[in-house]
A and B are shown apart, each in its own frame.
Chain A
Amino acid sequence: MSDPVLAEGAIKKSVPQTEKGTSLWQDAWLRLRKNTFALLGLGVIVFFCIIALLTPYIAPYGYEQQNLMLGAVPPSAEHWLGTDIFGRDMLTRIMYGSRVSLMVGFIATGVALIIGVLWGTIAGYAGGRVDAVMMRLVDILYALPFMIFIVLLMVVFGRNILLLFLAIGAVEWLTMARIVRGQVLSLRRQEFIEAAVSLGLSRWTIIRRHLIPNTLGPVIVYTTLTIPSVMLLEAFLSFLGLGIQPPQSSWGLLISYGVETMEEYPWLLLFPGLALSITLFALNFLGDGLRDALDPRASRN
């Protein structure tokens, strides 16, 4: 190995092999596949997403289609989940509601993801005083009563769906920032980063090939766990009358309508509630499963 050209060749040969980086993900997938609950969760989420996407084409009735003569009827062959007091098909309404609920869940989580990852990476990478100031700000924000602040925001600026995304995203990014910063901090000091530096890889390559794939695990796990809490927040705001406004509909709104008439027509509360709970269950199981799969150290505890 005294020949430098040969040595370089050896490195070049070995780098693409490690660069494929499939082992971590293959490993994780193998572990995830053994987890029945997580797979079930994944299946439910995919199924609900497909249904939500196809709703305009496959919904059994029109979204606004009323049948006042019919009124509220319990589940039957024509209306699988019954109808509400205006004779509107509950299955159709829940399907349209899922579009809003899932969309809020994914988009608001996306907002939180972008802010959190950027904030955390910058803080962790810059280090020193910048890091201290940025994380102190996160600490301060953590201490705020956020539920109350969101209610306040929605009251002050009106009930706007875009604002809802921003408000929820603005709340949920804090933990993401902490996680990413912690990851970046610990990764920067590890030998394989030093090795990459000593191999002469550029800074961007190190970030892209070595840092990002390694922060991705916890970020994916936390993202999966953020989606249900975001959906919960939306449902909660809609329940209070501060979130989604009619004629749009979300599961939270359907639940709040259901509560008003639950004594006479309990299915109007039960089915939207079931839809929300099943989704939250599935996302939580998937998130836990992903955590076990991507972070075997944490799961062994």
Chain B
Amino acid sequence: MFRFIVSRLLQAIPVLLVVITATFFLVRAAPGGPFSAEKTVAPEVIKALEAQYKLDQPVWQQYLSYLNDLAHGDFGPSFRYPGRSVDELIAGGLPITAELAFYAMLVAIIIGVSAGVLAALKPNTPQDYVPMSAAMIGICMPSFLMGPLLVLIFGIWLEWLPVSGWGDLPGDKILPAITLGSGYAAFLARLSRGGMLEVMSQDYIRTARAKGLPEWVVVLKHGLRGGLIPVIAFLGPAFAGLLSGSFVVETIFQIPGLGRFYVQAAFNRDYTMILGTTVFFATLIVLFNLLSDIIAVWINPKLRHQLREGK
């Protein structure tokens, strides 16, 4: 197990290097510098600014010094917000984005898993079709359509919930969480339906039933444990996806999270901010993938066994 974790961590390093390098040179290749918007600035000032941000050095030197800074946990100063560092912006936005992603995840798991398990218990009956068709809505209605529609219905017409903001008014976290979570709920429903269907036809389930266990014990104790393995394997990537996919929802609901910083940075050509956020997201995604792999091995006796035999 330890060797497995270490080898996976080592594999992550080249991935991150590729991300950093690709993003760095892509961003540098962009036409129009971060200061080109302010046309009234004197050329001397621009020169001084470029010197301050090391833009006057050769690109490879900038690259190396950026790598060096990164190794020390320093994402550099923001080009757009003078006097603030990318670290500060990330530190300010991340808790909000993480909270949003967490609630969205809860929504996705509660709706998705219960829909999928219900469907799997009576396949090819209305109990299967209705939840699974509802889950399709989550897949077919993108967040940028779902969000505004929810706002229109619950915020404007019914006036039940606030239309935007984060933590300012009671209940203003509900609509963003549902908007962000619904797409993943649909995927989780499909995964848990597939997993449960496969597990419920296994011999050990028949054994459990033959022992005379009540059906709910069979389903919750013996069925879920095996049936939710595909779901758990998907949770890591899903959470990473929720974090990095939150920028639409953050834009719609005007939530001051990391995703909105990222979109603004992209429009402003805020080099270090784009670089910093991309590297940060990539690291998160790699880590969550790793985490879900470890959990999958830990929860699945078959995989654990294979691992021990392989080593």
Contact at B136–A284, with CB atoms within 8 Å? yes
Instruction: Given A155-B266, A156-B30, decide whether A262 and B152 contact each other with a Cβ distance below 8 A.
Output: yes
Binds B, one of A98-106, A175-183, A235-243: A235-243
From A155, A156, A281, A301, B140 is in contact (CB under 8 Å) with A281
Binds B, one of A8-16, A54-62, A142-150, A198-206: A142-150
From A140, A152, A281, B15 is in contact (CB under 8 Å) with A140
Cα distance A284–B274 in the bound complex, in angstroms: 34
Residues from chain A with a CB closer than 8 A to the CB of B266 are: 151-152, 155
Residues from chain A with a CB closer than 8 A to the CB of B245 are: 147
Cα distance A256–B252 in the bound complex, in angstroms: 10
- Is B198 interfacial (CB 8 A cutoff)? yes
Residues from chain B with a CB closer than 8 A to the CB of A140 are: 14-15, 18
Residues from chain B with a CB closer than 8 A to the CB of A252 are: 144
Instruction: Given A152-B23, A152-B266, A280-B140, decide whether A263 and B152 contact each other with a Cβ distance below 8 A.
Output: yes
Which positions 144-176 of chain A face chain B at CB distance < 8 Å?
144-145, 147-149, 151-153, 155-158
Measured as residues with beta carbon below 8 angstroms from the partner, the interface class of chain B is 35 or more
Instruction: Given A147-B244, A262-B152, decide whether A152 and B27 contact each other with a Cβ distance below 8 A.
Output: yes
User: Per-residue 0/1 for A246-283: is the Cβ within 8 Å of any B Cβ (1 yes, 0 no)?
Assistant: 00000010011011001100100100010011001100
- Is B142 interfacial (CB 8 A cutoff)? yes
How distant is A87 from chain B, measured CB to nearest CB, in Å? 23
Residues from chain A with a CB closer than 8 A to the CB of B12 are: 143
- Is B192 interfacial (CB 8 A cutoff)? no
Output the nearest chain A residue to B16 by Cβ-Cβ distance. A143
Instruction: Given A239-B248, A240-B248, A263-B152, decide whether A155 and B269 contact each other with a Cβ distance below 8 A.
Output: yes
User: Per-residue 0/1 for B6-35: is the Cβ within 8 Å of any A Cβ (1 yes, 0 no)?
Assistant: 000000101100110001001101110000
Cα distance A224–B148 in the bound complex, in angstroms: 28
Binds A, one of B39-47, B282-290, B295-303: B282-290
Residues from chain A with a CB closer than 8 A to the CB of B53 are: none
Contact at A143–B26, with CB atoms within 8 Å? no
How distant is A43 from chain B, measured CB to nearest CB, in Å? 17
From A149, A157, A235, B142 is in contact (CB under 8 Å) with A235
Output the nearest chain B residue to A301 by Cβ-Cβ distance. B198
- Is A220 interfacial (CB 8 A cutoff)? no
Contact at A145–B285, with CB atoms within 8 Å? yes
- Is B220 interfacial (CB 8 A cutoff)? no
- Is B277 interfacial (CB 8 A cutoff)? yes
Residues from chain A with a CB closer than 8 A to the CB of B269 are: 155
Output the nearest chain A residue to B277 by Cβ-Cβ distance. A148
Instruction: Given A148-B278, A262-B148, decide whether A143 and B142 contact each other with a Cβ distance below 8 A.
Output: no
Contact at A301–B278, with CB atoms within 8 Å? no
Residues from chain B with a CB closer than 8 A to the CB of A277 are: 137, 140-141, 145
- Is A228 interfacial (CB 8 A cutoff)? yes
Contact at A152–B26, with CB atoms within 8 Å? yes
- Is A232 interfacial (CB 8 A cutoff)? yes
How distant is A215 from chain B, measured CB to nearest CB, in Å? 23
How distant is B215 from chain A, measured CB to nearest CB, in Å? 22
Residues from chain A with a CB closer than 8 A to the CB of B286 are: 143
How distant is A143 from chain B, measured CB to nearest CB, in Å? 5
Residues from chain A with a CB closer than 8 A to the CB of B19 are: 143-144
Output the nearest chain A residue to B11 by Cβ-Cβ distance. A139
Measured as residues with beta carbon below 8 angstroms from the partner, the interface class of chain A is 35 or more
- Is B262 interfacial (CB 8 A cutoff)? yes
How distant is A79 from chain B, measured CB to nearest CB, in Å? 21
Contact at B148–A148, with CB atoms within 8 Å? no
User: Per-residue 0/1 for A61-83: is the Cβ within 8 Å of any B Cβ (1 yes, 0 no)?
Assistant: 00000000000000000000000
Residues from chain A with a CB closer than 8 A to the CB of B194 are: 301
Contact at A155–B30, with CB atoms within 8 Å? yes
From B26, B267, B281, A153 is in contact (CB under 8 Å) with B26
Cα distance A148–B156 in the bound complex, in angstroms: 31
User: Per-residue 0/1 for B111-152: is the Cβ within 8 Å of any A Cβ (1 yes, 0 no)?
Assistant: 000000000000000000000000011011110110011011
Contact at B244–A148, with CB atoms within 8 Å? yes
Contact at A269–B152, with CB atoms within 8 Å? yes
Q: Which of A144, A240, A269, A281 has the most chain B CB atoms inside 10 A of its CB? A: A144
Cα distance A221–B51 in the bound complex, in angstroms: 54
Which positions 242-289 of chain B face chain A at CB distance < 8 Å?
244-245, 248, 251-252, 262-263, 266-267, 269, 274, 277-278, 281-282, 285-286, 289
From B144, B149, B248, B289, A143 is in contact (CB under 8 Å) with B289
Contact at B140–A266, with CB atoms within 8 Å? no
Contact at A266–B152, with CB atoms within 8 Å? yes
Cα distance A301–B248 in the bound complex, in angstroms: 35
Contact at A269–B139, with CB atoms within 8 Å? no
Cα distance A236–B142 in the bound complex, in angstroms: 8
Cα distance A277–B146 in the bound complex, in angstroms: 10
Instruction: Given A151-B263, A156-B26, A284-B136, decide whether A273 and B149 contact each other with a Cβ distance below 8 A.
Output: yes
- B positions within 8 Å CB-CB of A: 12, 14-15, 18-19, 23, 26-27, 29-31, 136-137, 139-142, 144-145, 148-149, 151-152, 156, 194, 197-198, 240, 244-245, 248, 251-252, 262-263, 266-267, 269, 274, 277-278, 281-282, 285-286, 289
Q: A148-B244, A152-B274, A301-B197 are in contact. List 8 more A-B contacts (CB 8 A).
A: A140-B18, A145-B281, A151-B266, A152-B27, A158-B31, A262-B151, A263-B156, A280-B139
- Write 15 A-B pairs (CB below 8 A) sorted by A numbering: A140-B15, A140-B18, A143-B19, A144-B15, A145-B278, A148-B262, A152-B23, A155-B267, A156-B26, A158-B31, A239-B248, A256-B144, A273-B149, A276-B145, A281-B136
